[in-house]
A and B are shown apart, each in its own frame.
Chain A
Amino acid sequence: MADVLAVAEFRAGEARPVARETVSVARRLADALGGRLDVVAAAGPGGGEAAAGLARHGADRILVSEDETFAAYAPDALVASLAAVAGAGSYGAIVFAGSAQGKDLSARAAARLGRSLATEVTEVDVEDGRVVVTRPVYAGKAYARLAFRSAPAVLSIRPNVFPAAEREGAGEVEPLPVEAVEPRTRVVGTERGERERLDVREAEIVVSGGRGLQDPERWTVLEDLVEALGPTATLGASRAVVDAGWRPHGEQVGQTGKVVSPNLYFAIGISGAIQHLAGMRTARVIVAVNRDPDAPIFSVANYGIVGDVFEVVPKLTEAIRALRGG
């Protein structure tokens, strides 16, 4: 029997979508290990309510801080708090988000605790009392199954892979210990992208464009499709168009961009180079539009249309608008 600790990610007093996934995964582990689920919520000012709300995903005890320290990501303070919590309990697993913040934090925390770390796992179970994970390696060209030899198993989950499950937990709220540490690394500002669009890693639907779009001005074709698909959709890009300066780097999908696992992925005018496939082959459903019937993207696409982007995509947008509006 062992308890589980989940680290819920907050930004500006809001629980990130991945926080619910993290807590849900940790809940399942706590059940398998026969223990309690504790959640660390360094929520920052105004985040208390959102933190308490994590009980809906199965949190038994929620360690909350609304301290000003956590108004922005504060790695040094957070690692110190985590070390205090982990030291006071006896955890079988500590679960982080495999987000930009979660990966930074989990590596620091694992080192502080003197533990190995399994990054961005896509499966996690308990077998014979041991935590066993599966995680993509070699850009998803291979998958490793790994067992933790001892506790706690420290891991981060790939965003958008695990469902956020509804499950009532005891939800006792307690203060998170905040240690007085002189920060070595200070987050002094955050900059949002120019548009309030979802990040490719968090969107349910990603519409990615490649060199087949031929001109940055013609991205309106894809923007219209994203708009028709609704607020869970966002834009992605191939490296070719990022390198050309047509699209920001934050949109790049692939081995040297972001690895995405949306429900639905559109590859529009993208050839499907191995480095691009590495970033999107775990999408649930892939749709490709390309005028070259031999383009490698068709080898991973559930559904393909061979044709010209500028003929096919506007029709698709129209059809989806009709569907949504009608």
Chain B
Amino acid sequence: MNSIVCIKRVPDSEARIRVGADGRAIDPAGVKFALNPYDEIALEEALRRREAAGEGTVTVITVGGDEARETLRQALAMGADEAVLLRAETSLDGWPVARALAAELDGRAFDLLLSGKQAIDDDGMQVPAMVAELLGLPCATVVVELEIEDGRVTARREVEGGHEVVELSLPAALAVQKGLNEPRYPSLKGIMAAKRKPLEEKDITLEEGDLELLSLGGPPPRPEPEIVGEGPEAVPELVRRLREEARVL
């Protein structure tokens, strides 16, 4: 079972995000970066499939800057066999990234193309389905359960109020959601081994997308918070406020 896993370096989910002085990007000072949590799940799935099959290769690939090398090493430490860095400057627009990934993957042989359902920086939720479309691959997104038998894939995907069951054939593109598996931590042995695994680097130029960033700002401010009171005695006042002030009851 050969898999390619698309991974991305993103600010840790705990990170406090501040917009930089130029109003065009976040201020990276003090921000811890990590492997996108959904991509960890995608990678874990690829590793388990390889282990279950007893053969195959797991390749991780990213489009990003020099810093992304560290993220690729982390994926190699978790157990990926080889890594590819397509070095380019990225933006919040997923379309140019999808095109670059598709161009690189076109002609490569694999069974599974695994991605996260969402990168927690651009929250685009689009790159995997775009790549699949460009490559003409069957595709399921927001996958929480996966069964593969004789080249047939059955995936359960999360939709509003329930699940959809989707059938596809290999090779297939899958964008995974939390719940599919629990990703492992890299072992010390894995970290040592990662240093000797192949990491290929290529400089590429992303094409211009159709989106122009005008500005990046903070979230709209919330109204001044207020403690209405303590204990059950505060309930009548809360209900009054919800009715008369907020008009939501």
Contact = CB atoms under 8 A, between A and B. Distances in A.
Interface stretch (B72-80, B81-89, B153-161, B183-191): B153-161
A249 B209 contact: no
Interface stretch (B62-70, B104-112, B132-140): B132-140
B1 interface: no
B164 interface: yes
A1 interface: no
Nearest to A234: B161
B133 A143 contact: no
Nearest to B162: A192
A170 interface: no
Given A145-B217, A149-B212, A150-B210, A306 B230 contact: yes
Contacts of B215: 144-145
Interface stretch (B42-50, B51-59, B241-249): B241-249
B223 interface: yes
A301 B225 contact: yes
Interface string B98-133: 100000000000000000000011111111111111
A73 B162 CA distance: 14
Given A142-B17, A146-B211, A302-B246, A199 B225 contact: no
A79 B130 CA distance: 12
A182 to B, nearest CB: 11
A311 B229 CA distance: 13
A189 B167 CA distance: 9
Contact of B138 (A185, A256, A285): A185
B102 to A, nearest CB: 9
A82 B174 CA distance: 23
B19 A142 contact: yes
Interface residues of B, number: 89
Given A116-B95, A138-B11, A312-B235, A250 B161 contact: yes
Nearest to B124: A119
A304 B164 contact: no
Contacts of A281: 219, 222
Interface in B193-249: 208-220, 222-223, 225-232, 234-236, 238-239, 241-243, 246, 248-249
B92 interface: yes
Interface in A125-151: 132, 135-150
B148 interface: no
A119 B242 contact: no
A219 B236 CA distance: 23
B120 A144 contact: no
B249 A146 contact: no
Contacts of B226: 301-304
B13 A275 contact: yes
Given A274-B16, A298-B227, A132 B219 contact: no
Contact of A138 (B120, B126, B164, B214): B120
A201 interface: yes
Given A143-B218, A305-B235, A137 B211 contact: no
Contacts, number: 269
Contacts of A286: 222
Contacts of B4: none
Nearest to A101: B159
Contact of A187 (B139, B162, B164, B222): B164
Nearest to B179: A249
B235 A319 contact: yes
A60 interface: no
Given A188-B165, A256-B13, A281-B219, A202 B160 contact: yes
Given A139-B120, A146-B214, A189-B165, A312 B232 contact: yes
Contacts of B14: 274-275
A196 B142 CA distance: 21
A264 B248 contact: yes
Given A100-B142, A115-B210, A307-B232, A285 B242 contact: yes
A34 to B, nearest CB: 21
B216 A185 contact: no
B166 interface: yes
A298 B229 CA distance: 12
B3 to A, nearest CB: 18
Given A136-B219, A188-B165, A305 B123 contact: no
Nearest to B98: A111
A271 interface: no
A285 B246 contact: yes
Contacts of A139: 13, 120, 123
A147 B230 contact: no
Q: Closest 3 CB pairs between A and B?
A: A107-B129, A111-B133, A141-B17
Interface of B: 11, 13-14, 16-17, 19, 26, 37-38, 92-96, 98, 120-134, 136-142, 144, 154, 156-169, 178-179, 208-220, 222-223, 225-232, 234-236, 238-239, 241-243, 246, 248-249
27 contacts: A103-B141, A111-B131, A115-B95, A137-B122, A137-B123, A138-B17, A141-B17, A144-B92, A145-B213, A148-B211, A148-B212, A149-B212, A150-B210, A184-B169, A185-B139, A185-B140, A185-B166, A188-B165, A191-B164, A191-B165, A285-B246, A302-B246, A305-B230, A305-B235, A306-B227, A319-B235, A320-B249
